[in-house]
Chain A
């Protein structure tokens, strides 16, 4: 069965510090991978998605970046965190071998990031 791992679960970082959040998927190959951010009382906001190694699409211009160094590894990074980067970050995967329109997203348990 497929599983998705996301860490750390919580993180407190000072403004201006770097960030690295990691997500790995097991039990599937060539998944679509996604990074979302969820603000309190708001819908999920898509930050990045990837359809393959080294292929990253950005949905929202910001000081965050993403990389996919391996097929089932997705990393969210920042060189200098802002207060506005605080939020709940979620990694997800979807099966590319089924038509995406009918394929559910499978989420990790998220990282609660607080920038102080």
Chain B
């Protein structure tokens, strides 16, 4: 069964600190992996999309990594800011699914001043 699991479920860090969020998936055949940021009460916003051949992709202070062999991805946030408080969702697309994306439940990140 295609699944995406994220850890931790929630995380609290101090402003200015770095953090890393994890995503493990069992989706096959793999097409791409996406990270979204979702502010409370808003729709998700795309941060990165990574295909099989990409190991690292950055978007400002956000850096996503992908290890297709171990089926793991991480999202690293550098020098966190209060505005980084949100849920971060990992999404994996299966190559034969066309329009179906497998969504993780998200990691809720809280940045404290």
A-to-B contact residues, CB < 8 Å = 6, 32, 34, 41-46, 49, 57, 59, 90, 92, 100-102, 104-110, 112
Question: What residues on B are CB-neighbors of A90 within 8 Å?
Answer: 43-44
Q: Are A59 and B46 in contact (CB under 8 A)?
A: no
B31 proximity list for chain A (CB < 8 A)? 101
Partner of A59 from B4, B44, B100, B105 at Cβ < 8 Å: B100
In the complex formed, the residue of A with least CB distance to B93 is A101
Contact indicator B105/A105 (Cβ below 8 Å): no
For B45, list chain A residues within 8 Å (CB): 107
Closest A residue to B51 by beta carbon equals: A102
- A43-B106 CB under 8 A given contacts A102-B51, A109-B42, A112-B41: yes
Given A43-B104, A46-B100, A57-B99, residue A102 in contact with residue B44 (CB < 8 A): no
Would you call A46 and B101 a contact (CB within 8 A)? yes
Interface size of B in residues (CB-CB distance below 8 Å):
24
Taking CB as reference atom, which chain B residue is nearest A4? Answer: B43
| Docked CA distance A21–B34 (Å) | 27
Taking CB atoms, residues of chain A closer than 8 Å to B104 are 43
Quote the shortest CB–CB distance from B51 to chain A (angstroms): 7
Q: Is the CB of B43 within 8 A of A92?
A: yes
CB nearest to B46 among chain A residues: A104
Separation of A100 and B31 alpha carbons in the complex (Å): 10
